[in-house]
Amino acid sequence: MNVAKDRAVQIHYHLSDSDGNVIDSSRGGDTLGYLHGHGQLVAGVENALDGKAAGASLSVVVPPEEGYGVRDDALDVGIPLSAFPPESHDQIKAGVMFEGAHPSEEGASAVFTIVEVLPDRVHATANHALAGVTLHFELEVVSVRAATDEELAHGHLHGPGGHHHH
């Protein structure tokens, strides 16, 4: 069976950046299971896997536009430390996430990750960590099956490699 919309697909993936630094990999671990054609993987990966048969191996270079998006400079912000409640100051450190007003979309919120803490201010970003990164994937299609009606109704896989929330 080949990869197509509404099929349950198990893959192994190995993701590197353009310098060969490994970003993420399923090698040596569990396969990644997903419901094809529902936007669960970045577009460049789902497009490359479409029509492939179980057992297929492929290398794919995914530009940011088909990956995690381009960087938006408006989402890199500097915030005075005084804008945070004093009781929260000891929790403010790099890597901590918080929700705040979106810098360019009125009324919207965005999730920011603290990048750097200076004595009087915090640098944070709402850009995805992989925004602007060209993704180099090595992919292997391990298995393909039809999704069950229940999986299609939920929009995700059940069982090994899927959700276990039932």
Residues of this chain that interact with Zn ion (CB under 5 A) are: 154, 163
- Which residue is closest to Zn ion by CB? 154
Residue 85 CB, nearest distance to Zn ion (Å)? 38
User: Quick one: 89 or 163, whose CB is closer to Zn ion?
Assistant: 163
CA 104-110-114 angle, to 5 degrees, is 110
Return the residue matching tokens 């929009």: 155
User: Quick one: 63 or 160, whose CB is closer to Zn ion?
Assistant: 160
Residue 134 CB, nearest distance to Zn ion (Å)? 33
User: Quick one: 120 or 149, whose CB is closer to Zn ion?
Assistant: 149
Nearest to 8 by CA among 32, 36, 31, 30: 36
What is the bridge-based pairing of β-strands 109-117 and 97-101?
antiparallel
User: Quick one: 93 or 163, whose CB is closer to Zn ion?
Assistant: 163
For residue 152, the 8-state DSSP code is H
Q: Report, in this order, helix, strand and coil percent for the chain, each rounded to 5.
A: 15, 40, 45
Residue 166 CB, nearest distance to Zn ion (Å)? 6
Task: Give the containing element (helix H, strand E) for 7.
Answer: strand 7-16
Residue 149 CB, nearest distance to Zn ion (Å)? 12
User: Quick one: 7 or 121, whose CB is closer to Zn ion?
Assistant: 7
Residue 37 CB, nearest distance to Zn ion (Å)? 17
